[in-house]
Amino acid sequence: MYLAMQVARKLTEIPLLSIEVETRPLNITRGVLLIVLAALTISVQDVIFKLFSNTLTLWQIFALRGVLAVPLLLSVSWMRGAHRGILRAAFGTWSILRALFITTTFLAFYAAIPFLSLSTVGAANYIAPIFVALLSAYVIKEAVGPLGWMGVVLGFVGVVVLLQPGTDAFSPWALLPIIGAGFYALAHITTRTRCQGVPLAALSLSQNTVMMVAGVAVSLFLVFLKPQGELHAAYPYILGEWTTVTPQDWLVLLLLAGFAVGIGMMLAGAYQAAPPSTVATFEYSYLVFVAVWDILCFGIAPTVASITGMMLIVGAGVLVLRR
């Protein structure tokens, strides 16, 4: 957490790129609507990843999805007449840094997803709003307010109830999305303070390009490393080789590419429109969506602890909305 705050503090110390609080746009309704829609889309994407984890490796999915997503995004930008300057904006310093943060988040998240329920992985990842609120208050000086802080604390309690750390229900795999949560917070603070003037399509392009490069790079590293033995056999989703891609696989990858383009634009748009502490709290809606998918798709019924956690998280959203 200390390292995250130090990195975020550096984002606001460069005079030439400094953005005063007063110049940041404020459209809370737009920000909330975008983040809830993004949460729903991400939850559907995560169901596909979990179902697809027995077919292709994580790195193969990231690489091939990017191969489809990047041209798709460029084509959409061209048709909308928004292609001019998109490459320069997408590959600027702050856009790339933000993309690296988000890529680290998603890699950590999806590496854990075959081994945990979606609700558990999501709960671990949603410690990020706590980081976002702290960084908002102490680094970029955007007020959170008493009700906002109450909402953040209540949301955190809900996450703890869902994770049940210190009990047999807790899994070490839950630590991966927690690590990713710190990078997720840094990504959205960067969006709010350094990427206000960057078009949404450019931010989505940089994000999908970096994810694609990460997938290719790790795949090549594994080819060179050639992991073998029990560890390789136990975790083929992470350490396995690329497999043959069927026409049905390509259709799923194309769907994931479309999701990736839309999610990238919705996330960036939400954090451009409203204060990070407000937007981050409504990201908790993701937990409601994945709880439904756990029941419908994987037959995982919610426990008393998970229901209690969900209620606490919804209460946190109500508090922030009242603020």
Please write the tens of the pLDDT for every residue from 106-144: 899 888 888 888 887 877 777 776 777 777 777 767 777
Give 94 or 6, the one with higher predicted confidence. Answer: 94
- One-letter identity of residue 10: K
Residues with Cβ within 8 Å of residue 228, at least 6 apart in sequence: none
- The pLDDT of residue 23 is 53
**Residue range 199-223: average pLDDT?**
91
Contact 182, 128 (CB under 8 A): yes
Domain presence at residue 181:
yes
- Residue 18: band (very low, low, confident or very high) from pLDDT cuts 50, 70, 90: very low
pLDDT of residue 7: 54
Q: Higher-confidence residue: 1 or 25? A: 25
Q: What pLDDT shows up at residue 2?
A: 47
pLDDT tens-place string over residues 230-267: 777 778 888 888 888 999 999 999 999 999 888 888 88
Contacts of 67-72 with C-beta under 8 Å, sequence gap 24+, read 67/212, 68/253, 68/254, 68/256, 68/257, 69/208, 69/212, 69/256, 69/257, 69/258, 69/260, 69/261, 70/205, 70/208, 70/209, 70/212, 72/257, 72/258, 72/261
Residue 8 lies in a domain: no
Domain around 116? 25-322
The tokens describing 202, both together, are: 């450019």
Spatial distance between the Cα atoms of 287 and 311, rounded to a whole number of angstroms: 11
For the segment 37-47, the average pLDDT, to the nearest whole number, is: 93
For residue 321, pLDDT beyond 70: no
Q: Which residue, 322, 318, 315, 323, is CA-closest to 154? A: 315
CA angle (121 as vertex; 120, 127 as ends), nearest 5? 95
Residue 43 confidence (pLDDT): 93
What is the per-residue pLDDT for 35? 92
**Cα 264 to Cα 261: distance, rounded to the nearest angstrom:** 5
C-alpha separations of 258 from 65, 140, 255 in Å: 9, 33, 5
108 part of a folded domain: yes
Alpha carbon distance 270, 131 (integer Å): 17
For residues 278 and 269, give the distance between their C-alpha atoms in angstroms, rounded to a whole number. Answer: 14
Residue 4 lies in a domain: no
- Encode pLDDT of 295-317 as tens digits: 898 888 778 887 887 778 777 76
| 14: in domain | no
Q: Between the ranges 120-134, 143-157, 211-225, where is the mean pLDDT highest?
A: 211-225
Which tokens is 281 given?
Answer: 């709290």
3-class SS of residue 186: helix
The answer to whether position 1 is within a domain reads no
Across 83-99, average pLDDT: 88
- Nearest-5° angle of CA 109, CA 93, CA 98? 20
| Tens-place pLDDT, residues 57-75 | 999 999 999 999 999 888 8
pLDDT of amino acid 282? 81
Q: What is the pLDDT of residue 140?
A: 67
158-181, pLDDT tens digit by residue?
877 877 766 656 677 878 888 898
72 lies in a domain? yes
Number of domains into which the chain is organized: 1
pLDDT > 70: percent of the chain: 85
Neighbours of 197 (CB within 10 A): 10
Q: Is residue 236 assigned to a domain? A: yes
- Both structure tokens of 316: 């946190």
- What is the per-residue pLDDT for 19? 39
Average pLDDT over the chain reads 81
